[in-house]
Structure 1
Amino acid sequence: MSKRIDVKNLDIYYGDFHAVKSVSMTIEPRSVTAFIGPSGCGKSTVLRTLNRMHEVIPGAHVTGEVLMDDRNLYAKETDPVDVRRQVGMVFQRPNPFPTMSIRENVLAGVSLNSKRLSKSAADELLEQSLRGANLWTEVKDRLDRPGAGLSGGQQQRLCIARAIAVQPEVILMDEPCSALDPISTLAIEDLINELKSDYTVVIVTHNMQQAARVSDRTGFFNLEATGMPGELVEMDDTPKIFSNPSKKATEDYISGRFG
């Protein structure tokens, strides 16, 4: 598990609108990469191209390449459903399936992928996934209760367990803590640090302190003006981005002069 991603000359469109231009970057395996930047600069849009969720929107398309260990995710022969099995997504707001139990939520992705498991194998995968999301000890005695009955932070970790259960190589997180209280945020940040030992993790965050705490590398996105395409201004090791960025626009954003 854990794959390297190379993005080459990626341009992203919503119909005729050019949303993001000329993004090239490398995302290293077994690391946490953070995308930061002001609202509307394209960082979440870029994140969604990494597992081909962008193209679910009618008229949306990309040019360029996204390579996962040299496999082009946008090649004609590549099945987008297979890409989404390998590249899991955790969204901004926790989204457990409301009619499903904790157990059913964790195993939902496995069921959707038509994998038939024996009860013992399913129980093993359930525990393994919940332990991987640091949730097992909190829910092991109520696995058949509704997932929607958990607290917000627990629901987000449940969604992470659901993502882990299908055994992806990459986990994408789109502002996973924005709807959470500080204690739950700390739990998710601790979990992100643990996940990078097994997965490639990419996180979008508006919280620059969070990016500084959890990421190994940071990419700063910006746009010249409203209506213009967003672009990757620079990407580097996180300590360098926050202490000695190469571009003035990055320094201005980090220092709070805009954004």
Structure 2
Amino acid sequence: MAKRIDTKDVDIYYGKFLAVSGVTLTVAPRSITAFIGPSGCGKSTVLRTLNRMHEVIAGARVEGKVMLDGDDIYANGVDPVDVRRTIGMVFQRPNPFPAMSVYDNVIAGLKLNSKRLRKSETDTIVEKSLRGANLWDEVRDRLDKPGAGLSGGQQQRLCIARAIAVEPQVLLMDEPCSALDPISTLAIEDLIQQLKEKYTIVIVTHNMQQAARVSDKTAFFNLTAVGKPGQLVEMDDTEKIFANPSDRRTEDYISGRFG
């Protein structure tokens, strides 16, 4: 069941440094939200706060509220591992476990969650996840071969299969196509559109054409100067952001005047 995300007055720190300030936004269930903005404005940092990956960094912390269907994921007693199971993440560079087969890569998350499953159950999950990632037909005859032997685009889809195998409700994607060729990029974009039917998706992208193609909503982040905190300038329907943004800074960025 896809879930809604709400953030309220979120401040994100690295040690004493305030990296991003005052982020309030809503991500609707079964929608694709794109985060855009210049390098260093905090897009990926905000993304990592949505499933408590930010706090893995020493000294990093988050103030404010991040709610998943009304429940604060940073509340006392909430297990961050459970949060990351519910809110999956796909990283910029494909990162299959190189020593593992395609099959074992898909079920790696389930094993980490120490689920004991029969072979028939894992077979079903592997096929379902690879079909969900549009990869089954390409790898069905090489499930026992190393995941690292696939092409870059296939590796990224394998990572998406691994993420959806644990049945999350939200998928976060941090520039999932930046290391891929144009054909692989289109395959991932098509897949993201299909995954929207089941998941709430947030994608960070430097590619504004990609944001315009795949997302329902776009959030533009910016910073006033180097060393100053990033901030959310505006968030709206993608069509409006690209055709008629409310803030001049958004228009300047989209039209290529800076960034």
> C-alpha displacement at 1:101, in angstroms?
0.1
Aligned-residue identity in percent: 75
Q: Distance in 2 between matches of 1:58 and 1:140?
A: 41
Which residue of the partner structure matches residue 36 of structure 2? 36
Which residue of the partner structure matches residue 101 of structure 1? 101
Consecutive aligned runs of 4 or more in structure 1 exceeding 4 Å deviation: none
Q: Distance in 2 between matches of 1:71 and 1:134?
A: 32
> C-alpha displacement at 1:229, in angstroms?
0.1
Q: Distance in 2 between matches of 1:249 and 1:29?
A: 28
> C-alpha displacement at 1:77, in angstroms?
1.3
Which residue of the partner structure matches residue 90 of structure 2? 90
Q: Distance in 1 between matches of 2:62 and 2:76?
A: 13
SS of 1:252 mapped into structure 2: helix
**Letter of the aligned partner of 1:227 in structure 2?**
G
> C-alpha displacement at 1:107, in angstroms?
0.3
Which residue of the partner structure matches residue 68 of structure 1? 68
Alignment of 1:104-183 (within 5 A): 104-183=104-183
Which residue of the partner structure matches residue 185 of structure 1? 185
Which residue of the partner structure matches residue 210 of structure 1? 210
Which residue of the partner structure matches residue 7 of structure 2? 7
Give unpaired runs (5+ residues) of structure 2: none
Give unpaired runs (5+ residues) of structure 1: none
Q: Distance in 2 between matches of 1:146 and 1:230?
A: 40
SS of 2:222 mapped into structure 1: strand
**Letter of the aligned partner of 1:96 in structure 2?**
P
> C-alpha displacement at 1:204, in angstroms?
0.1
Q: Distance in 1 between matches of 2:102 and 2:228?
A: 43
Which residue of the partner structure matches residue 21 of structure 2? 21
Q: Distance in 2 between matches of 1:209 and 1:120?
A: 42
Q: Distance in 2 between matches of 1:71 and 1:181?
A: 39
**Letter of the aligned partner of 1:190 in structure 2?**
D
Which residue of the partner structure matches residue 227 of structure 2? 227
Which residue of the partner structure matches residue 56 of structure 1? 56
Q: TM-score, normalised by structure 1?
A: 1.00
Superposition CA RMSD, Å: 0.3
SS of 2:253 mapped into structure 1: helix
> C-alpha displacement at 1:188, in angstroms?
0.1
**Letter of the aligned partner of 1:110 in structure 2?**
L
Which residue of the partner structure matches residue 238 of structure 1? 238
Per-residue CA distance 1:83-119 (angstroms, 9 max, x = gap): 0000000000000000000000000000000001111
Q: TM-score, normalised by structure 2?
A: 1.00
Aligned length: 259
Per-residue CA distance 1:189-246 (angstroms, 9 max, x = gap): 0000000000000000000000000000000000000000000000000000000000
